[in-house]
Structure 1
Amino acid sequence: MTEPAQKPVDLITRFHAAAQHAPDRIAVRGTDGELTFAELDRRTAQLAGVLASRGIGVGDLVGVSLPRTTQLVVSLLAVWRAGAAYLPLDPSYPVERLEFMAEDAGIRVLVGAPGHVLRASGLDVVDPDSVAGDPEAADPKPVAADPLAPAYVIHTSGSTGRPKGVQVGRGSVADLVTALERAGVYAEEPRVVGWNASVSFDSSVKQWARICRGDTIAVLDEDQRTDPVQLRALLDAYAVQDLDLTPSLWELVRTCLLDGGADGPLPRLFVGGEPVPERTWQELSEATANGLLEAVNLYGPTECTVDATSAWITGGEAHIGHPLPGTRAYVVGDDLRQVTAPGESGELYLAGEGLALGYLNRPALTAERFVADPFAANGDGPLLPGGGRGGRMYRTGDLVRLRADGSLDFLGRADRQVKIRGYRIELGEVEAVLSSHPRVTTSVLTGYRDPALGDQLVAYYVADEPPSAAELRDHCAAVLPEFMVPSVFVAVDAVPLTVNGKVDWEALPTPQAAPAEQFVEPRGTVEKLLAEVWSEVLGRDRISADDNFFALGGHSLVALRVVGRLKRELGLAVRTKEVYQHPQLRELAGYVEAKLVAAPETS
């Protein structure tokens, strides 16, 4: 049993203390410049004052939709300073999804740049750039920190076909930082931290919020955070000491980080978001033994405020470790009794200070997943008002096994939820979108691990006149974020069923990416180079000039490998969005050739 955590100090209080202690220390760096703690203190005070003047206070939700710059950190911190909670609205998401999230949360104020993507009427839009230069903007009166007041709402994939908002309290976020400090995961002295997670991904909270304990935040933009060459350069230029990343991202950047020729050890790596493959665990263990880096595996669902367990990656087999201070982990068997013997397995239930307040506007779902804790000594106190944290536990749906030392092995899921490149996906939500296509009558999805491309979503669908994979991909991409769009679409005459009427997953055909109907030999230097690169990164023997990158199973991380090769082979800076805009090899080659002609001006 983990000892209870001490009551954490509210993060805004900690931020004020850090700003007073080291006002000239750099607080945040980004592509748009840098701010000291004193400057950040002033900027957040101004924006918080404007929000307060718009009636924003404790319990309110404020939408934030900004690119990855220092201004994003200013805005998130200002919302907390005003006593409110933020709703991250990643501008890269489809507009329809963003508008659903904004409507679902009922926001009335949005912090965003002019020309923001939301079309919702009645929103009061605050431009943080204009506030920064407003001499009339004043610091609001300090807002009393209520641990049960919401800090943020992050929407996760929903099994009913719509995303659901997880509402996390201020006390839980403060406790997360304190727990990671007490566990020794965070160093005592201030560090330089790379912020590379999407603002809509719960891991981003622990990355940017470290500014409240006096750490410096290096904001990695969309290219820097996933391009190996740029990431290596930024780590060196900013002297980044701590970096969060998923195992999938590690696979992309590992060579550049391990063989980058940098002086001294690599940053301390916080690996999480998806299970760590044994190969990755052993590789990181070996790098740790050689003094190249330190790495810790962090596990936790969004409903338990990012992280619930930790394990230093120092040899042995991959596991998720022990509960963090303030967290209790129960392994519950099929008979709903707690498993205590080493080697036994069951579903993981989590309890303690990190539990979320619940699902926004979904009391029935909250009651289903956040249940009374019968295992805590003395009942662990009464249930708190508004669905507080004491006396409850969360059903994770994750299957684990107890190890002899009390740590936990991750075994998989008890339901159909999957993780793709670190993102949690409820397959029912994607199936609902795919089945809304006018020619699709039925669809089922599953996860599939491709030897060359890693984890992928595969969609099986029934249609009288099957649409093309490109048409179905566009249909899904209009509603779903990129990581939720299936990589492979397979038409079937009917979904096979077992004698019990359930989907017979074993009877579904093996997924295969769809090449062009007729092979067209790539011509010219650029087409041939792209064909060679695609063949390598997609694991295919032959690439046609008419092939579609995404129809062959490509995704965002694989696209980054393509642009990295173009940079090395041609000295040309191509962004991943250009691969999305020109998915056919012939089209992308034409774009690259035009860019080469104008290279002195554009590359």
Structure 2
Amino acid sequence: MAGLLPRFRDAVRRAPERIAVRDTASALTFAELDRRTAALAGALRAHGVGRGDRVGVALGRGTDLVVALLAVWRTGAAYVPLDPAYPADRLAFMAGDAAIRALVSATTPGWLPAGAVVVAPDADGPSAADTAGSDLDPAYVIYTSGSTGRPKGVPAHHGAVAALVAALEQAGMYAGEPRVVAWNASVSFDASVQQWARVCRGDTVVVLDDAHRTDPAALVAWLADCGVTDLDLTPSHWTALREHLLDRPLRLFVGGEPIPEPMWRELAESRLEALNLYGPTESTVDATATWITGPGGPHIGVPLAGIRAHVLDDALRPAPSGELYLSGPRLSAGYLGRPGLTAERFVPDPFGPPGSRRYRTGDEVRWSDGGTLEFTGRLDRQVKLRGHRIELGEIEAVLREAPGVAAAAVVVRDDRLIAYHVGGEDPRATAERKLPEHMVPAAFVRLESLPRTPNGKLDTAALPEPETAGGPAPSGPVEELIADVWAEVLGRDGVGADDDFFALGGHSLVALRVVARLKKNFGVPVSTKDVYRHPRLADLAKHVSALATS
């Protein structure tokens, strides 16, 4: 058996009645999880799924999701996460690009590729031994943003996932068992792997649902109720949770984007055990790590076991500062069906054994005097925004598909994506139809032409700030209360009825605070998606009023 499956079998034998996974509605012991995953694996095998196949998983957040992912591994196949919240166009592309043989889902979606079958998460199939495979067989394929306008699949093999867990154990990050880990990350992102797969080493996995992930107070209360010991979050998410977490006996795994210096100091001085983790999807989640302790500023630490780090200058010579290259047995084999892009990013490694490769991260780093790596910036147009890896070129390519749009540019300002377009009326609808929520720009600005520097490059400094609507004052108690909430969380003196939340500086994590306040004041099931769908204050007020009377 490949990868982590032998460790899962050991965990079942050691403590069959221990809780393996739970959500707000249900819990499964290790024995029950073993039975459920074996049954679903049997159903998948009955539909022809086997070693080397790829199986899509499109389920909401809950115990069924863990069952599905583990069941796919027991067939010898690789799972492909297909978040039901993503636009249908994007899901159709990923499912087709990955050539999934089956889809684990509670429904039959319209984007299902021809020839693929749907298997329910509670399906029961003939019992059989786990399919024996190689550590080099793919365990999953996760899609990341692509600079050419379409996402790219990154496979990781079973041996790499098992080596990741072993490396984190070796670094002392899982010391003190038993652990109870919160699964906080989206299954579509690689950070989810080192969260849900902890069940294979005998840890309890607590699946955070969308309701708790959007309500900081409810989230922290539930973590306490479940006895969570380990929480993985992004620095941006910390800002929404910090006041609730600072006095908690937790181990924090922080990653996904650079840590600001004030946050670093705060964590170093707190009672929390905090770890900073860095790594691109191509290196199987985490490549470097460090404990956040003592004096000094932010850094990304040293390579974990199974990873070698090289800092090279433009001539590919070792240097104190330059581009970070990663190599070692945990590297991905490349991009699914993209040999050209694979050759561009995975280049020969002269420092390793014959035939080995190193991955060009595009991250600019430097070696500190203490022998740790410090992140200093990007060498391309990839950005990390609230933990999401985003290629601005992909968003621009989608916007150019909007009716009448002749040119488009996207930049990051104040932690927001701002889109500028030439021609077209409003490309937002096209963006929402083709891009996941975290890639839809917060504001759209129509220009006669894109400003250029003398050498023809986009002059980002000359791009105007989005205008706020202003206009009439809020009218009625609902509009007025929402305006007060916006003014408080955005740090503004006043907000108009026609103002746009995102144009005023809002983003998804600020929206968390807005939603929590609205739930408390109105007692309605408002969500961050509602803020995205109704960014104009007057429109959001109408929606909240409708929820209150429904």
Secondary structure at the counterpart of residue 478 of structure 1: helix
**Native 8 Å contact 1:190 1:213 kept in 2:** no
Asked whether 1:580 is paired with 2:535, we answer: no
Asked whether 1:202 is paired with 2:195, we answer: no
For 1:400 and 1:588, how far apart are their aligned partners in 2? 43
**Correspondences of 1:445-524 after superposition (within 5 Å):** 445-448=410-413, 450=414, 455-463=415-423, 467=425, 471-509=426-464, 511-512=465-466, 514-516=467-469, 519-524=471-476
Residue of structure 1 in register with 2:233 after alignment: 245
For 1:139 and 1:21, how far apart are their aligned partners in 2? 22
Deviation at 1:141, TM superposition (A): 2.4
For 1:128 and 1:154, how far apart are their aligned partners in 2? 20
Residue of structure 1 in register with 2:19 after alignment: 26
Instruction: Quickly say closer, same or farther: Cα 1:505–1:578, change in 2 above 3 A.
Output: closer
For 2:399 and 2:115, how far apart are their aligned partners in 1? 31
TM-score where L is the length of structure 2? 0.96
1:199 partner amino acid: V
Secondary structure at the counterpart of residue 434 of structure 2: coil
What per-residue deviation string (whole Å, max 9, x for no partner) do you get for residues 524-548 of structure 1?
2221110011122233332222333
For 1:423 and 1:253, how far apart are their aligned partners in 2? 18
For 1:119 and 1:9, how far apart are their aligned partners in 2? 29
What per-residue deviation string (whole Å, max 9, x for no partner) do you get for residues 301-348 of structure 1?
000001000011113100000000121100001221112xxxx21000
**Paired positions, count:** 549
Asked whether 1:271 is paired with 2:254, we answer: yes
Greater Cα offset, 220-229 or 493-502: 493-502
**Native 8 Å contact 2:216 2:240 kept in 1:** yes
Deviation at 1:573, TM superposition (A): 4.2
Deviation at 1:127, TM superposition (A): 0.6
Asked whether 1:83 is paired with 2:76, we answer: yes
Residue of structure 2 in register with 1:347 after alignment: 323
From 476, 491, 496, the equivalent of 1:539 is 491
From 79, 89, 92, the equivalent of 1:96 is 89
Residue of structure 2 in register with 1:309 after alignment: 288
What per-residue deviation string (whole Å, max 9, x for no partner) do you get for residues 170-221 of structure 1?
1111110010000111225231000010010110011000000000000001
For 2:315 and 2:298, how far apart are their aligned partners in 1? 28
What per-residue deviation string (whole Å, max 9, x for no partner) do you get for residues 432-474 of structure 1?
01111122111112222x2xxxx111222222xx52xxx3222
For 2:192 and 2:110, how far apart are their aligned partners in 1? 22
Residue of structure 2 in register with 1:366 after alignment: 342
Deviation at 1:553, TM superposition (A): 4.1
**Native 8 Å contact 1:47 1:78 kept in 2:** yes
Deviation at 1:58, TM superposition (A): 1.4
Deviation at 1:79, TM superposition (A): 0.3
For 1:595 and 1:162, how far apart are their aligned partners in 2? 36
**Native 8 Å contact 2:102 2:119 kept in 1:** yes
RMSD across aligned positions (CA)? 1.8
**Native 8 Å contact 1:82 1:140 kept in 2:** no
**Native 8 Å contact 1:181 1:188 kept in 2:** no
Secondary structure at the counterpart of residue 177 of structure 2: coil
Instruction: Quickly say closer, same or farther: Cα 1:585–1:497, change in 2 above 3 A.
Output: closer
Deviation at 1:39, TM superposition (A): 0.2
Secondary structure at the counterpart of residue 128 of structure 1: coil
Give the gaps of 5 or more residues in structure 1. Answer: 1-7, 260-264, 384-390, 599-603
Deviation at 1:140, TM superposition (A): 2.2
For 2:349 and 2:99, how far apart are their aligned partners in 1? 31
2:214 partner amino acid: T
Deviation at 1:228, TM superposition (A): 0.6
What per-residue deviation string (whole Å, max 9, x for no partner) do you get for residues 231-283 of structure 1?
11111110100010000000111112236xxxxx4320000000111111111
1:563 partner amino acid: V
**Correspondences of 1:546-561 after superposition (within 5 Å):** 546-561=498-513
Instruction: Quickly say closer, same or farther: Cα 1:117–1:533, change in 2 above 3 A.
Output: farther
Secondary structure at the counterpart of residue 395 of structure 1: strand
Asked whether 1:295 is paired with 2:274, we answer: yes
Residue of structure 2 in register with 1:214 after alignment: 202
Deviation at 1:364, TM superposition (A): 1.4
Residue of structure 1 in register with 2:29 after alignment: 36
**Native 8 Å contact 1:242 1:267 kept in 2:** yes
TM-score where L is the length of structure 1? 0.88
Greater Cα offset, 542-551 or 188-197: 542-551
Residue of structure 1 in register with 2:265 after alignment: 282
Deviation at 1:230, TM superposition (A): 1.4
2:430 partner amino acid: H
For 1:545 and 1:411, how far apart are their aligned partners in 2? 41
**Native 8 Å contact 2:2 2:134 kept in 1:** no
Secondary structure at the counterpart of residue 212 of structure 2: coil
Secondary structure at the counterpart of residue 87 of structure 1: strand
From 303, 314, 327, the equivalent of 2:307 is 327
Give the gaps of 5 or more residues in structure 2. Answer: none
From 384, 401, 413, the equivalent of 1:436 is 401
2:141 partner amino acid: V
Q: Using the aligned pairs only, state the percent identity.
A: 59
For 2:536 and 2:409, how far apart are their aligned partners in 1? 27
Residue of structure 2 in register with 1:406 after alignment: 371
Secondary structure at the counterpart of residue 16 of structure 1: helix
**Correspondences of 1:10-21 after superposition (within 5 Å):** 10-21=3-14
**Native 8 Å contact 1:33 1:70 kept in 2:** yes
Instruction: Quickly say closer, same or farther: Cα 1:559–1:547, change in 2 above 3 A.
Output: same
2:381 partner amino acid: R
**Native 8 Å contact 1:148 1:357 kept in 2:** no
Deviation at 1:117, TM superposition (A): 5.5
Instruction: Quickly say closer, same or farther: Cα 1:117–1:72, change in 2 above 3 A.
Output: farther
For 1:117 and 1:191, how far apart are their aligned partners in 2? 40
For 1:139 and 1:12, how far apart are their aligned partners in 2? 16
Instruction: Quickly say closer, same or farther: Cα 1:418–1:460, change in 2 above 3 A.
Output: same
Deviation at 1:479, TM superposition (A): 0.4
Secondary structure at the counterpart of residue 205 of structure 2: strand
For 1:594 and 1:147, how far apart are their aligned partners in 2? 54
For 2:215 and 2:455, how far apart are their aligned partners in 1? 48
1:139 partner amino acid: S
For 1:333 and 1:116, how far apart are their aligned partners in 2? 48
Asked whether 1:141 is paired with 2:140, we answer: no
Residue of structure 2 in register with 1:152 after alignment: 140
For 1:580 and 1:494, how far apart are their aligned partners in 2? 28
Instruction: Quickly say closer, same or farther: Cα 1:541–1:117, change in 2 above 3 A.
Output: farther
What per-residue deviation string (whole Å, max 9, x for no partner) do you get for residues 491-517 of structure 1?
2332222332222233333x23x433x
What per-residue deviation string (whole Å, max 9, x for no partner) do you get for residues 358-378 of structure 1?
1001111111111111123xx
Residue of structure 2 in register with 1:387 after alignment: none
Instruction: Quickly say closer, same or farther: Cα 1:587–1:489, change in 2 above 3 A.
Output: closer
For 1:127 and 1:301, how far apart are their aligned partners in 2? 32
Asked whether 1:418 is paired with 2:383, we answer: yes
2:478 partner amino acid: V
Residue of structure 1 in register with 2:38 after alignment: 45
**Native 8 Å contact 2:410 2:417 kept in 1:** yes
From 62, 65, 68, the equivalent of 2:58 is 65
Secondary structure at the counterpart of residue 504 of structure 2: coil
